[in-house]
Amino acid sequence: MADTDQQATFSFQAEVKQLLHLMVHSLYSNKEIFLRELISNASDANDKLRFEAIANPELFEDQPELKITVTLDRDAQTLTVSDNGIGMTRDDVIEQLGTIAHSGTAEFLGRLSGEAKHDSQLIGQFGVGFYSAFIVAEEVEVSSRRAGLPETDGVRWSSKGEGEYSVEAITKAGRGTDVKLKLKSAETEFLEKYTVNALIHKYSDHIAFPVHLIDGEDSGDEQPVNRAKALWTRPRSEIEDEEYVEFYKHIAHDFADPLVWSHNRVEGKREYTSLLYIPSTPPFDLWNRESPKGVKLYVQRVFISDEATQFLPLYLRFVRGIVDSSDLSLNISRELLQQDPNVAAIKNALTKRMLDLLEKLAKDDAEKYAQFWAAFGTVLKEGIVEDPANREKIAGLLRFTSTFSKASEADRSLSDYIGEESHSGDKIYYLTAESPAAARNSPHLESLRDRGVEVLLMTERIDEWVMQHLTEYQGKSFRDVSRGELDLESDSKEASVQVEPSKDEKQLLKKIKRSLRDRIDTVRISDRLRESAACLVFKENEMGFQMRELLKQAGHEAPEDAPSLEINPDHPLIVRLESESDDETFDLLAKVVLEQATLIEGQPLDDPAAFVKNVNHLILGDSGEASA
Ligand code: ADP
Ligand code: MG
């Protein structure tokens, strides 16, 4: 690092180097998006200045009109995007342009495949941003001065995008930032006024600031190229779908098109406009419940906050968009925002609007809804717990894989379930399991399958937790098929007349309980089983395996109560057990039955080595003992 007061050279963070390289290669076929990204940053910078100037109007200096300028210089082969927004200090520049602050960077890089199409999509989800300039530039020079600082406190950052960048102090008269690209010799099309004009139209019509195009040979243009009107302030009927899509890409930093959107102006007691989008692919920080960033707040067109989390519940954190309110104060602080009754009312209305939008999508376009469900279904499920007022509505939006599903797709809704001629009576049967395979092959399903009863198969970590809060849907109650006694409706063909165990069976149950003692609660003859020998059953009000695991992972104590063992007296293994006269062998067999039932649940054994040894002994007889 050659450090003088004037100039210093730094290395990029290792991830930046890797990302730069990948970006240039995988985004080459979309190279013109660099202009969208740079104008988008300029617009953000102007937004930020306008916000800070609410409290500190001197920041406007003598230039209250915020704008963006694109300057072409054919002799120097440069294209420059300038703004008179907030600007950057030397520290800002090093921090913002030399590192990637995304928390998921390492994970992101790990998921790259080296295949251009796949990677460009991933990079798109990650956020292309400032570095896209290097797709077309051999060198990028950023000159900036933070609003409010003296002219001599300017800074210049420059890099060839190869691993290093340098930073020096400069004097800059105007506040804000100039991003100057020295174009590669193959990219001189971006010096053509006509081409650049068309791109600005395409990418910036929705931006609220005027974008001027200056061609070095003209005397400078008076008229802005774009409409310079915030998209959401225009009437819906005048806005093309492409404009909505472009605006989405600007605010969401997404490369992919959104699935659907909803644009509404509310007038009357409260006045606000919302434009909200459902993305098609999950963003990188979807699972970061701490810092959801989705909705931007504007008050009377002035950008206020990027993290307007107050306007939607956490389970809709995948929604992107803007809310522009006329009722809130420009000076409102984050804390006050939380208490403002206007905010609560807007939140309720927007939540309902989004749920309605999803309902409509499900009805109109099953394919898109399936895409939505695959991307965000797990997040939406949280709403069952989080939002009791909308529980029924959210439940209607859920999709499940069930024993009636085609392949293993989540293609069944609760209405499908209820509408189906199945023998479920007034119940909705479901099963939570460790994995889709464990669910499909679960012994708990055997008799239900015989009776033609549909069972929802739930295999996500949060399912058991969710189902504790979802007890009813349209008057039908949910019933976990792995808990308690399965009192199947008597209208089912094979009415479940609980046969009193015979004397021999009672004897057998007693013996098994004696062998297994505390490892099980009770042992009984099962009404569930057809092909399997045994299964584990918790009581209806007890926690299942999944919840216990969740609690343990969160550092809480999980209940230790043991499940009951249900056996199928017709199964050869149980017949064999019953005929065993040797006490020691009976013991071994009983343990093996219990441990098999545990494995079928997808649960680990406390002592797997003992299980293997016992099984070997039973297979090989006495000779197994010697070699075990
Ligand atoms: P993003 O816009 O998603 O934050 P970018 O890669 O586009 O990511 O930009 C990185 C950061 O660099 C921005 O968050 C901002 O802090 C800073 N930045 C980029 N361009 C400008 C600009 N014209 N004025 C002020 N800051 C800028
Ligand atoms: Mg950006």
CATH number of domain containing 405:
3.40.50.11260
Residues 219 and 291 in one domain: no
pTM attached to this predicted model? 0.78
Shared-domain flag, residues 94 and 206: yes
DSSP string, 235-259: -GGG--HHHHHHHHHHHH--SSPPS
**How far, in Å, is the centroid of ligand 1 from the Cα of 285?**
18
Identify whether 390 is part of a domain.
no
Distances in whole angstroms, Cα of residue 208 to Cα of each of 52, 92, 230, 307: 17, 25, 4, 19
Question: Where are the extended beta strands (E) located within 286-426?
Answer: 295-299, 302-305, 320-325, 401-402
Q: Residues 556, 613: one domain?
A: yes
**Is ligand 1 within 6 A of the CB of residue 83?**
yes
Q: From ligand 2's centre to the CA of 124, what distance in Å? A: 12
The reply to whether ligand 1 has any atom less than 6 angstroms from the CB of 46 is no
Closest CA to 561 of 479, 487, 483, 444: 483
Q: ∠303-307-309 over CA atoms, to 5°?
A: 120
**Could you tell me the distance, in angstroms and rounded to a whole number, from the CA of residue 279 to the centre of ligand 1?**
22
| pLDDT score for 563 | 92
Ligand 1 atom at minimum distance from 42 CA = 23
Structural domains in the chain (count): 4
438 with 512, same domain: the answer is no
Q: Same structural domain for residues 201 and 265?
A: no
The answer for residues whose C-beta is within 8 angstroms of residue 21's C-beta and 6 or more apart is none
Q: Are 203 and 132 in contact (CB under 8 A)?
A: no
Q: What is the CATH number of the domain that holds 582?
A: 1.20.120.790
Q: Are residues 206 and 309 in the same domain?
A: no
Q: How far does the centroid of ligand 1 lie from the alpha carbon of residue 99, in Å? A: 11
Shared-domain flag, residues 457 and 354: no
* Domain boundary, last residue among 206, 228, 250: 228
- Nearest 5°: the CA angle 455, 459, 461 is 140
Q: Is 272 in the same domain as 189? A: no
Ligand of minimum distance to the alpha carbon of 285: 1
Whether residues 216 and 307 fall in one domain: no
Domain end among 337, 364, 391: 364
Our answer on whether the CB atom of 123 is closer than 6 Å to any ligand 1 atom is no
526 with 409, same domain?
A: no
Q: What's the pLDDT score for residue 490?
A: 46
User: Is there a contact between 459 and 434 (Cβ–Cβ < 8 Å)?
Assistant: yes
User: Which pair of structure tokens corresponds to residue 212?
Assistant: 């001027």
Whether residue 19 has its Cβ less than 6 Å from ligand 1: no
The Å distance, Cα 40 to ligand 2 centre, comes to: 6
Q: Could you tell me if the CB of 133 is within 6 A of ligand 1?
A: no
Q: How far does CA 197 lie from the centroid of its chain?
A: 36
Phi, psi dihedral angles at 297 (to 5 degrees): -105, 130
Burial category of 498 from C-beta neighbours within 10 Å (exposed 0-12, middle 13-18, buried 19 and up): exposed
The 10 Å Cβ neighbour count of residue 9 is 14
Does 391 reside within a domain? Answer: no
The reply to whether ligand 1 has any atom less than 6 angstroms from the CB of 322 is no
What's the CA-to-centroid distance between 43 and ligand 1, angstroms?
10
β-strand partners of 145: 176
Q: Residue of the nearest CA to atom 11 in ligand 1?
A: 96
Indicate whether residue 41 lines ligand 1 (CB < 6 A). yes
Ligand minimally distant from the alpha carbon of residue 130? 1
394 Cβ neighbours under 8 A, 6+ residues apart: 315, 355, 380, 381, 383, 384, 387
- Low-confidence stretches of the chain (pLDDT < 50) are 1-4, 490-497, 624, 626-628
Whether 549 is covered by a domain: the verdict is yes
Residue of the nearest CA to atom 19 in ligand 1? 41
Does the beta carbon of 283 sit less than 6 angstroms from any atom of ligand 1? no
Which pLDDT score, from 0 to 100, does residue 626 have?
Answer: 43
Give me ligand 1 centre to Cα 21, in Å: 19
Number of residues assigned to the chain? 628
What region does 267 belong to: left with phi over 0, alpha with psi -120 to 50, or beta?
beta
Contact 42 CB / ligand 1 (< 6 Å): yes
Residue type, 397: L
Q: Give the closest ligand to the alpha carbon of residue 47.
A: 1
**Domain membership flag for residue 495:** no
Q: What is the pLDDT of residue 551?
A: 85
Q: What is the CATH number of the domain that holds 256?
A: 3.30.230.80
Atom of ligand 1 nearest to the CA of 179: 23
- Distance (Å, rounded) from C-alpha 321 to C-alpha 353? 13
**Ligand 2 center to 306 CA (angstroms):** 13
- Is residue 375 situated within a structural domain? no
Identify the domain containing residue 261 by its residue range. Answer: 232-364
Q: Are residues 299 and 320 in the same domain?
A: yes
Asked whether residue 578 falls in the same domain as residue 594, the answer is yes
b/e map of 60-81 (b: 16 or more CB within 10 Å)? beeeeebbbbbbbbeeebbbbb
Torsion of CA 176, 181, 182, 183, to 10 degrees: -160
CA–CA gap between residue 587 and residue 592 (Å, rounded): 9
Would 281 be classed as within a structural domain?
Answer: yes
What is the spatial distance between Cα 539 and Cα 528, in angstroms, rounded to a whole number?
Answer: 15
Residue 378 counted as domain residue: no
> For residues 130 and 283, what is the distance between their CA atoms, to the nearest angstrom?
18
Distance (Å) from CA 147 to ligand 1 centroid: 15
